[in-house]
Amino acid sequence: MFITGAGEGGCLEHVRLDGEALTLVFALEEGVTADCVYLGARLPDDEDLAALAAATARGRHESQPDASPRPGLLPEHKGGWSGTPALALRREGAPCDTDLMVNDWEVEGTAIAVHFADSLAGVAVLLRWRIGAGDVVCAQTQLTNTGEGALEVERLAALALPIPPRFTEVTSYSGRWAGEMQEHRRPIAPDGLARATAIGKPGFAGAGRLLLHAEGEVLGAHVAWSGDQWLALQPDAQGAGDGRAMLLMGAGWSPQEVVLAPGASVSTPHAVFALAPCRSALAQAFHTHLRAEVLPDRATWPPRKVHLNSWEALGFGLSQDKLIALAEDAAALGIERFVLDDGWFGARRDDTTSLGDWTVSPDVFPEGLAPLIARVHDLGMDFGLWVEPEMVSPDSNLYRLHPDWCLHIEGRDRPTMRGQLVLDLTLAQVRDYLFGALDALLSTYPIAYLKWDHNRDLFPAAGKALGQTQGFYALIDRLRAAHPKVEIESCSSGGGRIDFGVLSRVHRVWPTDNNDAIERLRIIPAWSQFLPLEVLGSHVGPSPNPITGRRLSMDFRAKVAVFGHMGVEADPGRMSDKERECLAAHIALYKAWRGVLHAGTLHRLAHPDPNVTGMLVIHDNKALALVAQTTFSPVFDVAPLRLAGLEPQARYRVTLPEPWPPKARHYLANPDAWRDGVILSGTALMTHGLALPLTHPETAWLIALERLPE
């Protein structure tokens, strides 16, 4: 279907976009405004849209503008609306007030484009919304300077979404290093919520994601941008709107960074949102969207190889012999990719030096990386390498040669973080240098994978917060075009740069530096609200854990690590034979089940004990669940675990893949039955559940399901 132009003398039109299970209804009025008057479950085809809009239209109250403001999809201050406008502009230094009116619109398939113009202000805006895979809505705003003289864009929302009043609670996120994605759910307060990041990346939680909750519904929204981001959730507390809260989200930038010459345009990154009946369904919607529309060539990905990363095994204490010994131990466990982390280049024997000098350190590797890589290949693994391209150490040849290549303010101090500064990626010569250095490495050595790190916040942004992220995208895009087969991971001291913008360029993310399995039982489900398991690096770390000091059994660490893109970040040489055996068995289980875990639908399993975490992934006729207890249960017999997402009438064979948790196995009723398989219907599994020994702290089980033929 292609419909164009409201244009029939300013009359009000109602237009619907339908996804699989979603309908959006827009009210469009030429010369006036555009609004989304319905956002919810798919409506019957013959729904009367005008009646629907009328059913929730508001009248005017005391102490309100005589003509009620209609913020709609493009809230402005005009007419008395008192919230944050979607756009803030200045022309020749003075605030530029706008009164943007709809002058045209087009609908094609599941996409709508709405054109607004204000000839007095010399501004045109184009909103594009599209319902895509997973019923995820992608929104983007373009602004054009149609006037004379330069137009400064201080703010431009990617999405302005009037929120149906049935949404009464919000989940936002905070985070810290090694403690990403902490969820905070609370009622939407009358004074709303405002978040912004100003560190040049989303950070450990990000201002670019949130959830809104209604009875039986959850809405998730996210800004697909790897730099600064902001959001504002504004209830219509003063009644100067139309009773609905407004959600605004966008990318952030530096003052005076976006200045449009006459005729020039700027486009925001995409903001995405989805609506689902529950958090599992919302996660599935985002996973579908990422798999179909965002992750690079997702359909062609080979199975996700098991990694061994040198960082927590060797740190900076690298030598060719130690690395070869580590690689040999890794291969014996069934590892498929050996990743050489920090410390291989320049004079980098600790974190105070050499970022920027991307040549192999002759002290550590007198013959270069070739002998190590050859051994890694002989052992049947491929090779990956850590880099941190956007950074420079003041103690580096690069900095000595080009002290002006870092982000700085002339005449001011250059404060460091982790002993490093940020290169100015808005400069073409800096990007060329970095491309040359990375291209040389990838051309010289058979490198299958780069762990691309970013360990410093952007300060000062030196007026380049937006340009820096654009420069990062330009660099990584150029490198990927030159080396399309190389897989890349986005790491930023763990999960500091994880968003759908970077995910359109990389194959995995490092969700946290915290490999403590108990912490990961919170962090991985939190990220998986937005991201599928195949992109979430999930490593077995050492015990005691170097960050938390916690000691955890290998069985527990390994079971938790199966649910993600599995790897090992510990020295197998320091493990006992029993631990190595246990780890190898779980690596084999991961390989057997990754086809399910990385293509299936993820369900979050509810349990009455808040310290029991359960996840289940279903794909075709198979499913695998992880259930883990972190604390000492107040009761001997923890409530049975109820599964989800199964076909009620189908019959499933349920087994508990071995190895079993050593402590808990003694409490298992009928061990033989769990080996042979218990056959139960989907209804029984989802209603009645499975009683597993989950009394002891740090106990985890894997549960395998096979749907039996009818």
Please identify every residue annotated as catalytic: 453, 513
CB of 638 to ligand GLA, least distance (A): 34
CB of 573 to ligand GLA, least distance (A): 20
Contact 333, 583 (CB under 8 A): yes
Cβ burial 294-330 (10 Å sphere, 16+ → b, else e): bbeebeebeebbbbbbbbbbbeeebebebbbbbbbbb
Q: Could you say which DSSP state residue 337 is in? A: E
Residue 353: CB minimum distance to ligand GLA, A: 12
Chain position carrying tokens 């762990």: 451
| Cβ distance to ligand GLA smaller for residue 118 or 341 | 341
Distance of closest approach, residue 510 Cβ to ligand GLA, in angstroms: 6
Which of 287, 520 has the CB closer to ligand GLA?
Answer: 520
What are the backbone angles phi and psi of residue 534, rounded to the nearest 5°?
-70, -15
Cβ distance to ligand GLA smaller for residue 72 or 495: 495
Separation CA 521–CA 137 (nearest Å)? 29
User: Which is closer to ligand GLA, CB of 471 or CB of 494?
Assistant: 494
Torsion of CA 700, 567, 587, 670, to 10 degrees: 0
Query: In 3D, which of 244, 301, 254, 197 has the Cα closest to residue 68?
Result: 244
| Identity of the residue, 273 or 311, whose beta carbon is nearer to ligand GLA in the bound complex | 311
Secondary structure tally for the chain: helices H, strands E:
13, 38
- Do the beta carbons of residue 422 and residue 416 sit within 8 Å? no
Within a 13 Å sphere around the CA of 217, how many CA atoms are in the beta-carbon half?
Answer: 17
Ranked by CB distance to ligand GLA, the top (closest) residue is: 342
Distance of CA 552 to the CA centre of its chain: 28
What string of DSSP letters covers 398-417?
Answer: HHHH-GGGB---TTS----B
d(CA 552, CA 4): 62
Shortest distance (Å) from residue 72 CB to ligand GLA: 43
The neighbouring-strand residues paired with 326 are none
User: Going by C-beta distance under 8 Å and a sequence separation of 6 or more, which residues neighbour residue 150?
Assistant: 91, 92, 259, 260, 261, 262
Return the number of the residue (98 or 455) whose C-beta is nearest ligand GLA.
Answer: 455
- Which residue, 171 or 543, has its beta carbon nearer to ligand GLA? 543
Residue ranges that bind ligand GLA, judged by CB under 6 A = 311, 341-342, 351, 386, 453, 455, 491, 493-494, 510, 513
- Residue 569 Cβ vs ligand GLA, minimum distance, rounded to whole Å: 8
Contacts 24+ apart (CB under 8 A), 43-49: 43/16, 43/18, 47/16, 47/23, 49/14, 49/15, 49/16, 49/25
Instruction: Tell me the closest approach of the beta carbon of residue 369 to ligand GLA, in angstroms.
Output: 17
Instruction: Label each residue of 357-385 as H, E or C.
Output: CCCECCCCCCCCCHHHHHHHHHCCCEEEE
Of 14 and 451, nearer to ligand GLA (C-beta) is 451
**Beta carbon of residue 420, minimum distance to ligand GLA (angstroms, whole number):** 10
How many other CB atoms are found less than 10 A from the CB of residue 653? 14
